[in-house]
A and B are shown apart, each in its own frame.
Chain A
């Protein structure tokens, strides 16, 4: 793979994606073969907003490659609190680590920070923007369960603010995927994302009702509709209720439907789905480790 930084799923070609997923599959099949691959390697963690899960997943990934982390820690205790710019923080910390992982509340922060450093920088989420490692683990999970070509996927919930959705939708344009977007009118895909998908020649359809497409889907990717997106609580409850699924909802679905969710969930997927063969969201979360190991291995020069 020929990228110094991993900023957005948009930068990844089909060949890049397949290289990461193949490497991840290889790692998952025989993790011990990679156990000392990156001994002595230090991964710098710059988390400007809390995301314990993503941080743990990256930490597990580098440690399973034989390396370790240096962690900026919470923002409250760092120089950022004193008003240091992100550009400066990145330039200082790159001297402590062989690669950086950045999570930051502002859109475009990872791209900007990458312009100031020479070590590989991985975007672990920039505001409502991109979250490419989440996308790669989503793609890995889809490939393992349904395959990435000739795919019918439904993506449901908060499509306006959900960055995992935007990132995934972009990445799927590399494959022969029919994408169905299911959301209330007020939370449909933003214009910029629709523009890009059309530019890429993607096949997309927008729906307000899951029943319109459920029986044709190979994968249903559910995201959470957040209360803070609504001015009043009763409106939220009404809308959110329409986009919750349970075992009964899935009666009309195909038997081999894969249900995914970036987690954490609240009540958009009922627990009665957890024990069915549809439920793949915990596998999906676990896949974050081999996928991040694969990505780190590739950007750190695993082939050398």
Chain B
């Protein structure tokens, strides 16, 4: 364990490593995935380490849980360069980039306070993913900047 990287976060036996997260977005990544540590699973977070590609990047490791592609694609909204590594017995058995989903449900809160999805109704927020932002399917409001600020509190 002399490798500098390994000192920061040890290898995990089984689980998911999300690498190449836009620097500073690790906590938002966890928020989007609804992972808050209350289930007792070990979670490691490194933030703002140097990256050739991104300048600085974050890494999140979630032990004992394999995140599905569907679950992680939503991360493309705030961390478009993120890579997902599924680990079994210390080996990477699957590796892929996040891809942009067509739509995201229940992840973002509509910034339009007059939108029906912000009221006490049995409906989840639903955004269509555009090339450069997202659009509320109910009220047509478009969010282009700082999507992380609109993550629904869970």
Contacts and interface: CB of A to CB of B under 8 A. Distances in A.
Interface of A: 83, 85-87, 104-109, 111-112, 115, 126-129, 191-192, 195-196
Given A85-B121, A192-B135, A108 B115 contact: yes
A112 B116 contact: yes
**Chain B interface residue number, banded:** 10 to 19
Contact of A87 (B114, B123, B137, B139): B123
A127 to B, nearest CB: 5
Contacts of B121: 85-87, 112
Contact of A109 (B116, B135, B140): B116
B120 interface: yes
B123 A107 contact: no
B114 A128 contact: yes
A106 B140 contact: no
Interface of B: 112, 114-117, 119-123, 135-142
Contact of B119 (A106, A191, A196): A106
Contacts, number: 54
Contacts of B117: 108, 112
Contacts of B136: 108
Closest 10 A/B residue pairs (Cβ): A108-B138, A107-B139, A108-B116, A108-B139, A106-B116, A109-B116, A112-B116, A192-B142, A192-B140, A85-B121
Nearest to A166: B140
Given A83-B120, A104-B116, A107-B138, 17 more contacts: A85-B120, A86-B121, A87-B121, A87-B122, A107-B115, A107-B141, A108-B136, A108-B137, A108-B138, A111-B116, A111-B137, A111-B138, A112-B138, A127-B139, A128-B114, A192-B142, A196-B140
User: At the interface, is chain B mostly helix, strand, loop or mixed?
Assistant: loop
A104 B138 CA distance: 13
A139 to B, nearest CB: 20
Nearest to A83: B120
Given A107-B139, A111-B138, A127 B122 contact: no
A128 B139 CA distance: 9
B140 A112 contact: no
Nearest to B123: A112
A192 B133 CA distance: 11
19 contacts: A83-B120, A85-B120, A87-B122, A104-B116, A105-B114, A106-B116, A107-B139, A107-B141, A108-B136, A111-B138, A112-B116, A112-B123, A112-B138, A126-B116, A129-B140, A191-B142, A192-B140, A192-B142, A195-B142
Nearest to B130: A195
B123 to A, nearest CB: 5
Contacts of B137: 108, 111
